[in-house]
Amino acid sequence: MSQCATPAMARMGIDIGKSAFHVVGLDAGGRPVFRGRFTRERLIEFLARASPTIVGMESCPGSNWLARKVTDAGHSTRIVPAQFVKPFVKSNKTDIVDAEAIAEAISRPTMRFVQPKTEAQLDLQALHRVRQRLVSSKTAVINQARAFLLEYGLTIGVGAAYFVRDMPSILSDDENGLTPSMRRLLDELWQEYRCVEARLLQLRRQIESIATADDTATRLTSVPGIGQLTATAITAFAGNGTQFKSGRHLAAWLGLVPREFSTGGKQHLLGITKRGNPYLRKLLVHGARSCVLHLDRTKDHLGVWIGRMESRGIHRNKVIVALANKLARIAWVVLTRQGAFYLRQPRQQQQ
């Protein structure tokens, strides 16, 4: 089928590549009426010429950019998670077959779609991604230095605080048995650690300034266990939350619900699914852990709930994950209701 022709298409699937984009158009009956391969520039021209239709693509790097271009050309955008497209791939896998599978997947009435991210969300998300990488690098430097020191009979406690406290004295002690070569290497690791710490401090201040200026992030920080870092991560990855029908859907998207394996009318619940965004889930779990350790059990509604869970003898880790689920659901309410705050109402005293 010619690339120059632009027949009427009910929906269109685009398989995204780095330099080549494969397009398949289907009519209202689901039959292919167009197949083509385009460069990036040619694809934009083709979308501008085509009649308004529904355009689908897999969620991947570049999908948010293409979604903006598709919307600017007057089309409707559908971004589908890659795992939901896989069942529609017929026979051998090719780029054209993938594009056709995408076009078929977006036609399903029960299909789940990904909300396109704005440029502001992508910029904020990039800050969190860079911070996540630097935190991993910081941990790697500490662990490597501790391992090197063990070979010389020197130990440092687990954690960054012990590393910062003990490392300068170890490097300045000429009688601890370190060879000149190892001392130089450890000094380089120490300087690398300090550079990473300085960069993390810079990123933290940048994220905090964004949170202070953003009304949604400010309202999210009213929820116990959600600070400025977690609040900006929620706005970056979850957006305005309108793509979720309820707070339970947001919690399920984060993987904070039990994994189910039920058959024959017998329900069998396992551990949490751990689906979705592991970074955001980790932040919520850490926030929940802080609440379990420090939240007032008598003056805060969540504190009262934590107290009830603990009185039932539930393991602390289960309470933490359950609380993280509740925090996600509360965050959804704050996201979707303009001007909503979490109210820490005191517990009513019994007469």
Please give the average per-residue pLDDT across 37-43, as a whole number: 94
- Residue 86, helix vs strand vs coil: helix
Whole-number pLDDT of residue 345: 64
**Residue 4 DSSP symbol:** S
Per the DSSP assignment, residues forming a β-bridge with 272 are 258
Residue with tokens 């935190």: 135
pLDDT tens digit sequence for 156-203: 999 899 999 999 999 999 888 899 999 999 999 999 999 999 999 999
Q: Residue 346: pLDDT band by 50, 70, 90 thresholds?
A: low
Q: Which of 136, 286, 139, 134 is nearest to 200 (CA)?
A: 134
Percent of the chain surpassing pLDDT 70 = 96
Give the β-pairing of 76-80 and 258-260. Answer: unpaired
pLDDT at 269: 81
- Tokens linked to 75: 């089309």
Q: How confident is the model at residue 271 (pLDDT cuts 50, 70, 90)?
A: confident
Hey, which residues does 22 pair with through a beta bridge? 15, 37
CA distance 326 to 321: 9
For residue 93, name the pLDDT band (cuts at 50, 70, 90).
confident
Taking residues 72-95, report their average pLDDT. 92
More confident residue, 270 or 81: 81
294 to each of 228, 256, 265, 290, 297, how far by Cα in Å? 18, 22, 41, 6, 9
- The pLDDT tens digits for 295-331 are 888 778 888 889 899 889 899 999 999 999 999 999 9
What mean pLDDT is predicted for residues 126-152?
A: 95
Residue type, 330: I
Choose the weakest-confidence range: 84-93, 229-238, 281-290: 84-93
Could you tell me where the DSSP H helices lie in 58-179?
63-72, 82-85, 95-105, 119-150, 160-172
Give CA–CA dist 256/241, Å, rounded. 16
204 sits in the region (left: phi over 0; alpha: psi -120 to 50; else beta) called: alpha
Closest listed residue to residue 237, CA positions, set 303, 310, 332: 332
Q: What is the pLDDT of residue 90?
A: 87
Q: Whole-angstrom distance between the N-terminal and C-terminal Cα of the chain?
A: 80
pLDDT value at residue 187: 96
- pLDDT the model gives residue 92: 86
User: What pLDDT score was predicted for residue 2?
Assistant: 45
Does residue 349 surpass a pLDDT of 60?
A: no
Q: How confident is the model at residue 7 (pLDDT cuts 50, 70, 90)?
A: low
Kindly report, residue by residue over 201-252, the tens digit of the pLDDT: 999 999 999 999 999 999 999 999 999 999 999 999 998 888 888 999 999 9
Of the pLDDT bands very low, low, confident and very high (cuts 50, 70, 90), residue 6 is low
List, edge to edge, every strand of the sheet that includes 76-80.
32-39, 20-26, 11-15, 54-58, 76-80
Q: What is the mean pLDDT of the chain?
A: 90
297-303 LR contacts (CB < 8 Å, sep 24+): 298/347, 299/344, 299/346, 299/347, 300/224, 300/344, 301/344, 301/345, 301/347, 302/224, 302/326
Burial 289-324 (b: 16+ CB within 10 A, else e): bebbeebbeeebebbebbbebeeeeeeeeebbbbbb
What is the predicted pLDDT for the residue at 3?
A: 47
187: tokens are 């000094």
pLDDT confidence of residue 103:
94
CA distance 53 to 156: 62
Domain 11-105, architecture per CATH = 2-Layer Sandwich (3.30)
Q: In the structure, what pLDDT confidence band is assigned to residue 350 with cuts at 50, 70 and 90?
A: very low
